[in-house]
Chain A
Amino acid sequence: MSEYLAVLIFAVVGAAIVLFTFFLASLIRPKNPYPAKSVNYECAEEPIGPSWFQFNNRFYIFALIFVVFDVEVIFLFPWAVAFGQLGLFALIEMIIFIVILLFGLFYAWRKGVLTWV
């Protein structure tokens, strides 16, 4: 497990380096905020309404399809690693698995989900 310690230490050291540079910058940079400067940028126009608005719900649909395929890929990784020992049964099994999921993709395609309006 000591190898996975490297991951933790890299995360901590990486964050520490970034925070240290922020601290370093805060020592030498000027600080002069005023109301007009702290308004969000909208090409020099006064912003109208809140910026946390409703966005296109297609983003959610693509995220849903992605979740399906990403979980599938997680199932495929152990199969790919062990494929050398598994033989014909694993090959046919996994082809059936992939074809079923591609049918799902095809269904979404025909329903017009993949077309960005």
Chain B
Amino acid sequence: MSESLGMLELARVFGWLHELLVDTGLGEPWVTIITYAVLAVVVFGVLAVLALFLVWWERKIAGHIQQRFGPMRNGWHGWYQTIMDGLKLLQKEDVIIATRDKPVFFWAPVICFVAAFLAYVVMPFGKDLIVADLNIGILYILAVTTFTVISLLMAGWASHNKYALLGGMRSAAQVVSYEVPMVVSILVIVLFVGSLSMQDIVTAQSGNIFNWFIFRVPFGPIAFATYIIAATAEANRTPFDIPEAEQELVAGFNIEYSGMKFAMFFLAEFINLFTVSAIAVTLFFGGWNGAILPSWLWFLLKTCGVVLLLMLFRWTYPRLRVDQLMRFSWKFLVPVTFANLIIGAIIKYAGWYW
């Protein structure tokens, strides 16, 4: 069983933990279980810090685009503003709706967070930094992150609120519509790599910068464009944020949530933002490949670049109407992505690529 842990790439980084556990004389399943549990807590810590940073960053960008400063009071340019916000939410009263659907209302934020968190089992943070390199990597991420839809529907239904129900239904329809173009644009990359494992996808782009899939014309840039549009919709972010349109639905599915339950939805939203950007980096920008700097730093820098792109989308584009949204997905994105898949297959068969 110890070689099964050897397959675990992060065990090289956390080898000291493994040896410590073996020295205590525990049986084999427990050593693996405790190692993974510690890794889960570490990944959660990293994600929490990232989410706090992203919220602050988003507020600064929003502020500067709208010619104001954003948070300025707490620390240098308000850097610990989001930490204070988190502490405030921890102390807030949990306002309870008398007519809610009790168990569904309680479990919706938990499922929302767990669905966002599970994607990080196969996220390639760096050369050896991956919790478990599952051989179905990218398919697993798609399967797991779709659970978010169920939690949004649960939250919308259980709140017993007309705005919340409408927000939940809209978000389900939207995520479901943009799931198809997103998956098909990922399929083009899978076609050229010939593997679903995240590390295989990254190593397929190693070496020259022109090995990145974004530079492999014509299918690469098209797949990236369709992916980034669909991913923005999947993460429920602004050109496509009708589920939580503040001006018409007040806040959508999370309207009746307060305190820590609301904080979990908020945290999951920013983790999802980071997830879709990280997938874009893994698929199109060479993942952790890069010169001189350590691989995890490259991954982080590239992901922050894609996050910046999504944030600029959010603060510079107006919101779409619901009919435009559906029309755009089914009448434009789906045919384009399928045509791109067929073109990619022909190029792969004929060998017209490098």
Interface residues of A (CB under 8 A from B): 2-7, 9-11, 13-15, 17-19, 21-22, 24-26, 28-33, 35, 37-43, 47, 50-53, 55-56, 58-59, 62-63, 65-66, 69-70, 73, 76-77, 80-84, 87-88, 91, 94-95, 98, 102, 105, 109, 114-117
Whether A80 contacts B187 by the Cβ 8 Å rule is yes
Determine the main DSSP class of B at the interface with A. helix
Given contacts A59-B173, A66-B180, A116-B326, 16 further A-B contacts (CB under 8 A): A3-B132, A3-B133, A4-B132, A10-B40, A10-B118, A13-B41, A14-B113, A18-B264, A30-B91, A38-B95, A42-B161, A51-B161, A66-B179, A73-B183, A77-B196, A84-B348
Q: Which of B81-130 contact A (CB under 8 A)?
A: 90-99, 109-110, 113-114, 117-118, 120-121
Complex CA distance for A7 and B330, rounded to whole angstroms: 33
Contacts of B334 in A (CB 8 A): 69, 105
Nearest residue (CB) in B for A1 is: B4
Known A-B contacts A41-B256, A80-B187; the reply to A10 vs B120 at CB < 8 A is yes
10 shortest A-B CB distances, which residue pairs? A116-B323, A13-B40, A6-B132, A3-B132, A14-B117, A38-B98, A25-B260, A9-B36, A2-B4, A66-B176
| One of B36, B43, B165, B326 near A5 (C-beta < 8 A) | B36
Selected A-B contacts with CB under 8 Å, 11 pairs:
A4-B134, A10-B43, A25-B91, A30-B93, A38-B96, A43-B250, A53-B165, A55-B165, A80-B187, A83-B348, A91-B346
Stretch at the interface among B61-69, B219-227, B301-309, B335-343: B335-343
Contacts of B172 in A (CB 8 A): 59, 63
Complex CA distance for A5 and B105, rounded to whole angstroms: 29
Contacts of A28 in B (CB 8 A): 90-91
Q: From A21, A58, A88, A98, name the one whose CB has the most chain B CB atoms within 10 angstroms.
A: A21
Whether B250 contacts A41 by the Cβ 8 Å rule is yes
Known A-B contacts A66-B179, A73-B183; the reply to A10 vs B326 at CB < 8 A is no
Contacts of B327 in A (CB 8 A): 114-116
The answer, yes or no, to whether B14 is at the interface (CB within 8 Å) is no
Contacts of B164 in A (CB 8 A): 51
Complex CA distance for A7 and B137, rounded to whole angstroms: 12
Whether A6 contacts B131 by the Cβ 8 Å rule is yes
Determine the main DSSP class of A at the interface with B. helix
The minimal Cβ–Cβ distance linking A44 to chain B, given in whole angstroms, is 11
| One of B94, B96, B194 near A84 (C-beta < 8 A) | B194
Q: Which of B12-56 contact A (CB under 8 A)?
A: 32-33, 36-37, 39-41, 43-44
Contacts of A30 in B (CB 8 A): 91, 93
Whether A83 contacts B165 by the Cβ 8 Å rule is no
| One of A42, A51, A62, A98 near B342 (C-beta < 8 A) | A98
Contacts of A81 in B (CB 8 A): 190, 194-196
Whether A5 contacts B32 by the Cβ 8 Å rule is yes
The answer, yes or no, to whether B59 is at the interface (CB within 8 Å) is no
Whether B176 contacts A19 by the Cβ 8 Å rule is no
Whether A39 contacts B180 by the Cβ 8 Å rule is no
Whether A55 contacts B169 by the Cβ 8 Å rule is yes
The minimal Cβ–Cβ distance linking A20 to chain B, given in whole angstroms, is 10
Whether A21 contacts B260 by the Cβ 8 Å rule is yes
Whether B331 contacts A114 by the Cβ 8 Å rule is yes
Contact with A along B178-196 (1 / 0, CB 8 A): 0110011001001100111
The answer, yes or no, to whether B60 is at the interface (CB within 8 Å) is no
Contacts of A88 in B (CB 8 A): 349
Contact with A along B130-145 (1 / 0, CB 8 A): 0111100001100000
| One of A40, A66, A115 near B159 (C-beta < 8 A) | A40
Contacts of B98 in A (CB 8 A): 35, 38-39
| One of A18, A25, A38, A62 near B113 (C-beta < 8 A) | A18
Nearest residue (CB) in B for A69 is: B180
| One of A15, A51, A84, A109 near B162 (C-beta < 8 A) | A51
The answer, yes or no, to whether B166 is at the interface (CB within 8 Å) is yes
